[in-house]
C-alpha cells in the first residue's frame, strides 16, 4: 500500500484561525476513494502545520517511518527559496533541507507559489537525497494548482487512463471487455509528468515542474527538469490541436 503524507499550512495570510478557507484534504480523500475502486489502496495521513517548528516535527516523524510513506505533499504559500506559514512567517530553504535529510526514496511535492526554481530544486535534491521534488516556478492560482497537484498524485499512486492513436491520428481510450477504461501505470516520475502535460496542458502553463538528479559515478549530478524535457512535445501537441 502506497503511503502519502499531506502537510498543509493555514492559507489566511493574517493567521485568522476562525476564518473559512480552502483545504486540499477533501480532494485528496476523493482521489483515495477513486483509486480504491481501481484496486490501488493508498494510506493517506493529513496534518496541519503553523510554524517551521511544527513542520520540522512532522517531517522528521515521516522520515522516521519512511517505510510507510513514499510521497510527501506540502501545501502552503510560498516565495523564492522559502515557504510561508501561519502569520506570514517564513520557512527558509536551508531550514527545510535540514528537516528533510536524509530522504532517500521519498518524493516531495510542494503546492506553493514561486518556490521551486531549478536552483532550489538542485539544492534540495543534492542535500536531502530525495527521489524527486516537484512544484511551481512562478505564482499560481489556488484552484488550478490544487487540481494539478491532485492529478499528479493520482497518476503517481494509481496510474492514468491509457490512450492509443488511430490510423487517422485521433487519440481514443480503448475499452476493456467489462466496458471500463484501461489503466497504465509507471513508477518513473518524469514519465508521469509527461502524461500529466499531455492530458492537462494547463499544468505546464502554470509551470508545474518535476526535478530529478541523474547521479552517475564519476560525473557531476545532472538536474533533469520536466518543464524543459517535455517542452517540444507540448508545443507539437498544441500545433496538432490548432490545425484540427
CATH architecture group of domain 2-242: 3-Layer(aba) Sandwich (3.40)
- Where do runs of H (alpha helix) occur along the chain? 25-37, 52-64, 93-99, 118-128, 142-158, 189-199, 202-205, 226-229, 231-242
Most confident of the ranges 63-72, 109-118, 209-218? 109-118
pLDDT of residue 170: 58
- The per-residue DSSP string of 41-65 comes to -EEEEEEEE-SHHHHHHHHHHHHHT
Residue 225 bridge partners (DSSP): 211
Q: Is 181 helix (H, G, I), strand (E, B) or coil?
A: strand
pLDDT tens-place string over residues 23-63: 999 999 999 999 998 889 999 999 999 999 999 999 999 99
Question: What pLDDT band is residue 146 in, cutting at 50, 70 and 90?
Answer: very high
pLDDT tens-place string over residues 167-187: 555 555 555 545 566 778 899
Residues written for the chain: 244
Q: Among 57-61, 110-114, 225-229, 237-241, where is mean pLDDT lowest?
A: 237-241
Distance CA 193, CA 186 (A): 11
Amino acid at each position: 500500500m502506497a503511503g502519502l503524507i499531506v502537510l498543509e499550512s493555514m492559507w489566511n495570510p493574517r493567521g485568522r484561525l476562525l476564518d473559512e478557507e480552502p483545504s486540499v484534504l477533501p480532494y485528496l480523500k476523493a482521489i483515495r476513494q477513486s483509486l480504491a475502486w481501481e484496486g490501488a489502496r493508498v494510506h493517506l495521513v493529513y496534518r496541519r502545520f503553523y510554524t517551521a517548528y511544527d513542520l520540522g516535527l512532522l517531517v522528521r516523524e515521516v522520515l522516521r517511518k519512511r517505510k510507510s510513506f513514499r510521497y510527501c505533499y506540502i501545501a502552503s504559500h510560498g516565495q523564492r527559496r522559502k515557504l510561508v506559514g501561519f502569520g506570514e512567517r517564513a520557512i527558509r530553504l536551508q531550514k527545510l533541507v535540514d528537516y528533510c535529510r536524509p530522504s532517500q526514496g521519498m518524493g516531495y511535492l510542494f503546492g506553493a507559489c514561486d518556490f521551486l526554481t531549478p536552483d532550489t530544486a538542485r539544492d534540495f535534491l543534492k542535500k536531502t537525497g530525495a527521489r524527486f521534488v516537484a512544484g511551481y516556478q512562478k505564482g499560481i492560482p489556488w484552484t488550478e494548482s490544487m487540481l494539478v497537484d491532485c492529478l499528479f498524485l493520482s497518476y503517481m499512486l494509481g496510474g492514468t487512463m491509457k490512450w492509443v492513436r488511430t490510423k487517422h491520428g485521433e487519440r481514443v481510450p480503448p475499452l476493456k471487455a467489462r466496458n471500463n477504461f484501461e489503466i497504465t501505470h509507471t513508477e518513473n516520475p518524469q514519465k508521469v509528468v509527461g502524461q500529466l502535460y499531455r492530458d492537462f496542458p494547463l499544468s505546464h502553463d502554470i509551470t508545474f515542474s518535476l526535478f530529478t538528479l541523474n547521479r552517475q559515478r564519476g560525473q557531476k549530478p545532472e538536474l533533469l527538469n520536466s518543464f524543459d524535457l517535455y517542452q517540444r512535445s507540448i508545443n507539437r501537441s498544441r500545433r496538432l490541436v490548432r490545425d484540427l
